[in-house]
Amino acid sequence: MMDHLANTEINSQRIAAVENCFGASGQPLALPGRVLLGEGILTKECRKKPKPRIFFLFNDILVYGSIVINKRKYNSQHIIPLEDVTLEMLPDTLQMKNRWMIKTSKKSFVVSAASLTERKEWISHLEECIKHLLTKTGRQPCTEHAAPWIPDKATDICMRCTQTKFSTLTRRHHCRKCGFVVCADCSRQRFLMPRLSPKPLRVCNLCYRQLLADKKKEAEADRRQTEPIRSAVQGYEPSSGDDSDKSDDEKAEQWPADTEFYTSEVSWSSFHS
């Protein structure tokens, strides 16, 4: 079906309509071979509270954004390559039903559908697209995923020290490594995680120590790998181009007087005749 729709006029019109809904704030979505397979509204569990979001499933990407005017205007466009997506089923809660997690290396979040049937359809189409894309590109499924942020209302106290109570004056923060809700004292450190951002990100004290330990192990492993190379060249000093830094007199004292450097009976002048 995807190959059949790839170059059709109806597919081009549908993609153009999505681009128009996002306006100038959105990125162009039309690419050769890209197919729009479906769309729908899912509830995304955000930091403050669950919010409805519009989702568009293409054969290679998942696009979602905020709803300004339904079917007419969207903003805050996000584009997720399906090669990077892993799905995880989640149990229902009192507040949210028909839930599952969309996990990627840069961001992971929980969504829920309006019905069980709708969830099955979304997951079925997503899994089919991901499988088809990985087979086509020869890539392996992603194994490293960003931790989802735990919603603010999930806890009234810091999830690390379990002492600090949050209030209007005491802000909640999120560790970018584990996603826990933590206080300022428990998340004063920053750590560079290139997979998530080019800038150092806030992490809790526990994750900071773990990240430092992992970094130290990696450095030690690299050192052990390069040690055989260093040992092989130990004692070798590259020539500067001079025979030696010592004077000619010092050189003469190093060699016995009767040493024969040239065993040939040909005289020196013969080399220039």
Residue extent(s) of CATH 2.30.29.30 domains in the chain: 3-137
| Residue 44: closest CA among 94, 92, 106, 112 | 112
The pLDDT confidence band at residue 241, using thresholds 50, 70 and 90, is very low
> Angle at Cα 64 formed by Cα 7 and Cα 15, nearest 5°?
20
> Which residues are paired to 56 by β-bridges?
39, 63
CA distance 174 to 200: 14
Q: pTM for the whole thing?
A: 0.75
- Give me the pLDDT at residue 2, please: 63
Q: Which of 7-16, 183-192, 198-207 has the lowest mean pLDDT?
A: 7-16
* Single-letter residue type at 259: T
> What is the C-alpha R_g of the chain?
32
Q: How far is CA 259 from CA 101, 201, 263, in A?
A: 83, 70, 10
What whole-number percentage of the chain has pLDDT above 70?
81
Helix (H) or strand (E) holding 230, with range, is: helix 205-232
CA distance 40 to 30: 19
Residue extent(s) of CATH 3.30.40.10 domains in the chain: 149-219
Q: Which fold has domain 3-137?
A: PH-domain like (2.30.29)
Task: Considering only residues 107 and 270, tell me which one the structure prediction assigns the higher pLDDT.
Answer: 107
Burial 163-191 (b: 16+ CB within 10 A, else e): ebebeeeeebbbbbbbbbbbbeebbebeb
| Residue 187: closest CA among 177, 169, 202, 199 | 202
- Give me the pLDDT at residue 232, please: 57
pLDDT in tens, 210-234: 999 999 998 888 888 877 666 555 5
The superfamily in CATH containing domain 149-219 is Zinc/RING finger domain, C3HC4 (zinc finger) (3.30.40.10)
pLDDT in tens, 62-118: 999 999 999 899 999 999 999 999 999 999 988 899 999 999 999 999 999 999 999
